[in-house]
Structure 1
Amino acid sequence: MNCTDLNQKLTGNSNQIFITTYHSPLGLMFLGATEKGICLVEFYDRIHLEKTLLKLAESLKAHFVEEENEHLNQLKEELSLYFDKKLQKFTIPLVFTGTDFQQKVFQSLIKIPYGSTSTYKNQAIVLGDVKAIRAVATANGLNKIAIVIPCHRIIGSNGSMVGYAGGIHRKQALLQLEGALHQNQFSLL
């Protein structure tokens, strides 16, 4: 997948999303940023990646440029520190897309501390509507800024591993890296 192919599907978008790749310990990732901050952190083999990229570009009225910017450089540094267990909280500016509700869900994810986990039900309670569990789960699945917006910290109410667009094996690895998995959870995979 390259910028030219994606940009041919976008018309009239004047803003730019600068994209680059990052070789993480868990696989190749696409990183994207506008002039205002990071808008994309996704694994290269994520399900429906092209659809996610096109939706992002449409939301931001932007086209893709294969070029680095200051935010991408900072993100690469912070990701490297994170994977080396030297960073627990990202400081990079973020550009959210999605509905107001989805953005509230993303903000609630950021508040889950490093080394901790939560559930969709707990997120719904934090957002003030325990009946919104499915909407919360759907919003989590629409997160385009993996790791930085830590949707990997959401587990099932019974402690089981639940969906993760980057793959359950990566979710487990991220939680292990953060020290958030209890020994009995390893058998659930």
Structure 2
Amino acid sequence: MPRSINRRTFLSTAAATGASLTAPNILRAATGDPFTLMDHLKPREVKIARKHKFEPGQIVVTLQAFYLYHMQDERTAIRYGVAVGKEGLNFRGDASIDRKVEWPNWTPTQEMIERNPGYARWEDGMPGGPNNPLGSRALYLYQNGKDTLFRIHGTNVPGSIGTPSSNGCIRMYNPHVEHLYTVLPIGTKVTVF
């Protein structure tokens, strides 16, 4: 896309989410991965509009904008670009991170297999590793002590960040979810809208 479209898209998205750009964040992981995210999807420190009330440490996801916010305090967050679910497959509402896993196994749900019969070969699970669609880390979302089957996780397809391409989970670039994995405690509140 031409640069002006990227900038215009970014500025309209930031305005829609009530966030204004401040200094770039220094959360840049050194990896051997040659993939590079588009600038508007890279981690940034942003200010949150006063009309919103979030707790420090809380995770907030805006599906339509493809952003995940890790609240630093009541008015400042680190914003990450994410991939979200295809139309009609997204989780919405409040949850908590009640489980965290490094290099998680992936088992498609029956609904996923119905939508994509090719997933049937993994109905008993795919071991964690670089080809696993959950990437290097997974944060499991629970409501009232029950697994929602939705995750915030890494990806083996980093080019999907910024698109509606998942089966409902929130995908992050592996170095970014690895950072959150280290700093988010079990019980962290997550709000998706």
Which category describes the TM-score, using the shorter chain as reference length? 0.3 to 0.5
Q: TM-score, normalised by structure 1?
A: 0.36
Greater percentage in helix: 1
Greater percentage in strand: 2
Q: TM-score, normalised by structure 2?
A: 0.36
